[in-house]
Structure 1
Amino acid sequence: MWKDIEASRINEFYYEKIIGLLGEVGLIEEAVSTFQEMKSRGLIPSLETYNSIIHGFAGKGSFEDALFYLNKMKEANVTPETYTYDVLIQAYGKYNMYDEMGTCLKKMELDGCSPDHITYNLLIQEFSQAGLLKRMERIYQTMLSKKMDLQSSTLVAMLEAYARFGIVDKMEKVFRRILNSKTHLKDDVIRKVAGVYIGNYMFSRLDDLGVDVSTRFGASDLVWCLRLLSHACLLSRRGMDSIVREMEEAKVPWNVTVANIIMLAYLKIEDFTHLKSLLYQLPFLCVKPDIVTVGILFDAMMIGFEGAREVETWRSTGDLYRVVEINTDPLVLTAFGKGRFLRNCEEVYCSLEPQAREQQTWTYDSLIDLVLRKP
């Protein structure tokens, strides 16, 4: 229908567009059929047309077909460009074919197509995500020798790779480079870095991390969490008090993460006086308890804390009849672990039949009742 409207549309430009669109939506067989029709009309496929076919096959994991058309492309005296190979490399990464990525890079160089900074950045990102640190570092050194720029996404990928393997010194070097650049870090990446410090008992670094993040990206709930968690893990009441004062000076409202961090520290040192005082202040601080807060109270009661009054207060205010939530930053449980009450909750909940879990709306009260009835 498209061709019958106007004969002048039968040219290289329009075929290139149609083949490109078919390749983008994964209709590669239709794209090849159109490609063959194009050639039968004596029209010469362009670089972009070949790229659409090659990338379409690569995206579906049909690499033999992709390489077949790459060879056809060269036979037709159409010179591949770096983009041709870059998408192939990315497709190999998608299918975890990392040796083939290296082969593709060598083939690219033999074909006289020099890898550029986009190619190298792509390789580092793929090797980083795969945890192939030695390959990642070799490409990184190549980029340094060629004085090529690292993309922001590449720096973040390297940071995540080092964090995943807990390599503190290299993680910190990349993190410093990110701080000195315009690269934005998402909270989940910052949490991964913090998790490495926690795993290595380097609690004082959490405060440094919070300060660095605040200086570069501005203060946030995560920043206060990191700084407060640093002193709480060190069981330093003075340190926690200093952070709370800074929050008050900055007019930062409390949230359940802040309250739970402090109460977990009090629980750890069995400071029941300060624990009771903070539990009493929660309503005045506009902090609603979550499942972590409930767990702290019941764990304290298991070791002698008189908490019956607090339970009745939550019941009278309706807090125990709310649907169970966890609003505490996950780093808090990473640092302190799950207490006995939370572990019991998970154990009892998992022991229920799937139908029983789904039929009931779980409130704090019903969950507490379930745990307390556990034999």
Structure 2
Amino acid sequence: MWKNMEKSRINEFNYSKIIGLLGEEGLIEEAVRCFQEMKSHNLRPSLEVYNSVIHGCARQGNFDDALFFLNEMKEMNLAPETDTYDGLIEAYGKYRMYDEIGMCVKKMKLNGCSPDHITYNLLIREFAGGGLLKRMESVYQSMLSRRMALQSSSLIAMVEVYAKFGILEKMENVYRRVLNSGTVVKNDLIRKLAEVYIDNYMFSRLEKLGVDLSSRFGQTDLVWCLRLLSQAGVLSRRGMDSIVDEMKEQNVPWNETVANIIMLAYLKMKDFTHLRIFLSQLLTQGVEPDIITVGIVFDANRIGYDGSRTLDTWRENGFLRKAVEMNTDPLVLTAFGKGHFLRNCEAAYSSLEPEDRENKTWTYHHLIDLVFKHTQCSLSMKD
């Protein structure tokens, strides 16, 4: 109907625009039909049109059609450009077809199309995403020899894969490049680095990580978490007190993460005096306990602490009737592990039927009852 209104609308520009839009929306069958119709009007598809069709087919995993159109394009004396191959490489990476990526790069070079810095950066990200360190590092060395610029997304991909495999020195070297580039670092990446340090019992590195972050991006909750964990990980009372005093000087309020880090350290030291003091200060500090805090109290009870006063206070304040929440930074569990109470929570919860899990608002009172019932049941089964 649109074409019949005005025949002049049947032109290369309009078809190119429509095919591009259909490809972006993932409507590849419609894009291909439109592409064939364009040729039936004796209109010559441009490089951009071929790229839209080739990339669209490849994104949906239809590589046979993508390569068919690539060959057709060359028969039309249209030389593929780096963008043509980059779209194929990205699609191969999506489907974890890493050998095909290598063959695509070879074909690219044979056809006289030299990979540029965009292609090399793309290769680093795809190989890093697949955990192919040797291939990633080979591309990285090629870029260095050609003095090509590394994009921040490529550097971050390298840091992530080194962190994933716990390759500490290389992880730190590339991370320094990320910081020096001025790239804004997301908290998820910082946590991955911190997990490597924790797994290697290198708690002092957490302090340096936090200080580097604060010097570039300011004092954030994650920075305080890292710095506190660096002291709590080695059970340093003086170190934790120093961080708490620094927070007080800067008027930084406590949160669940700060409180739970300190209390977990005192629980590990079996320092019930300081544990009691910090539990009594929660409300005055404006911190509402979460499931980690509840777990600390019950785990302490198992080894001789009397937490009845704390539980009575929570019961009187109506806290135990509130919905269960986990507001503590996950790094805390990485550093201290899940306590006895939390492990029992998971076991008790997983023992329920799916409908019983979903059709209930879980309060702390309900969860505590469930854990005790499950524990008693487990004991009677052992007996």
SS of equivalent residue, structure 2 residue 26 = coil
* Deviation (angstroms), 1:25: 2.1
Q: TM-score, normalised by structure 1?
A: 0.98
How far apart in 1 are the matches of 2:195 and 2:55?
Answer: 38
Query: 1: distance between equivalents of 2:249 and 2:88?
Result: 54
Aligned: 1:107 with 2:110? no
* Residue equivalent to 1:165: 165
AA of the residue aligned to 2:195: G
Q: Which residue of 1 aligns with 2:240?
A: 240
Shift of 1:34: 2.3
Q: Using the alignment, how far apart are the partners of 2:20 and 2:370 within structure 1? A: 59
Task: Supply the distance in 2 between the matched residues of 1:26 and 1:283 (Cα, whole angstroms).
Answer: 53
Alignment of 1:98-177 (within 5 A): 98-177=98-177
- State the distance in 2 between where 1:360 and 1:114 align: 60
In 1, the alpha carbon distance for the partners of 2:28 and 2:291 equals: 51
Deviations 1:221-268 (A, max 9, x none): 000000001100100000001111111111100001100000000000
Partner of 1:250: 250
2:342 equivalent in structure 1: 342
Cα distance in 2 between the residues matched to 1:146 and 1:15: 39
Separation (CA, whole Å) in 1 of partners of 2:26 and 2:310: 60
Cα distance in structure 1, aligned partners of 2:86 and 2:292: 47
- 2:135 aligned partner, one-letter code: R
Matched residues in 1 for 2:302 and 2:206: separation? 30
Task: Give the structure 1 partner of residue 213 of structure 2.
Answer: 213
Deviates more, 1:323-332 or 1:44-53: 44-53
For 1:125, give the aligned amino acid.
Answer: R
Q: Name the counterpart of 1:29.
A: 29
How many aligned positions are there? 375
371 and 37 in structure 1: CA distance in 2 versus 1, 3 angstrom threshold: closer
> What letter corresponds to residue 114 of structure 2 in structure 1?
S
Q: Quote how far apart the aligned CAs of 1:313 are.
A: 0.7
For residues 225-374 of structure 1, the aligned pairs below 5 Å read: 225-373=225-373, 374=375
Aligned counterpart, 1:80: 80
Structure 2 CA distance for aligned equivalents of residues 16 and 259 of structure 1: 60
In structure 2, what is the Cα distance between the partners aligned to 1:114 and 1:40?
33
Partner residue, 2:381: none
CA positional deviation for 1:196: 0.3
Q: 1-side partners of 2:280 and 2:32: how far apart?
A: 72
Q: CA offset at residue 370 of structure 1?
A: 1.9
Identity of aligned residues (%): 69
1:44-83 alignment runs, 5 A limit: 44-83=44-83
Tell me how far apart the structure 2 counterparts of residues 369 and 36 of structure 1 sit (CA, whole Å): 67
Per-residue deviation, 1:24: 1.9
Q: Is residue 222 of structure 1 aligned with residue 260 of structure 2?
A: no
Once the two structures are TM-superposed, the CA of residue 304 in structure 1 deviates from its matched residue by: 0.5
Counterpart of 2:90 in structure 1 is 90
The answer on 1:38 being equivalent to 2:6 is no
Q: Match for 2:77: what amino acid?
A: N
Q: Secondary structure at the match of 2:149?
A: coil
RMSD: 1.0
Q: Which amino acid aligns with 2:262?
A: I
Distance 1:315 1:268 in 2: 26
Amino acid corresponding to residue 211 of structure 2 in structure 1: V
Deviations 1:276-332 (A, max 9, x none): 111111111011000100100111111111111111011011111111111000000
- CA shift, 1:37, in A, is 2.3
Tell me, in whole angstroms, the C-alpha distance in 1 between the residues paired with 2:21 and 2:354.
45
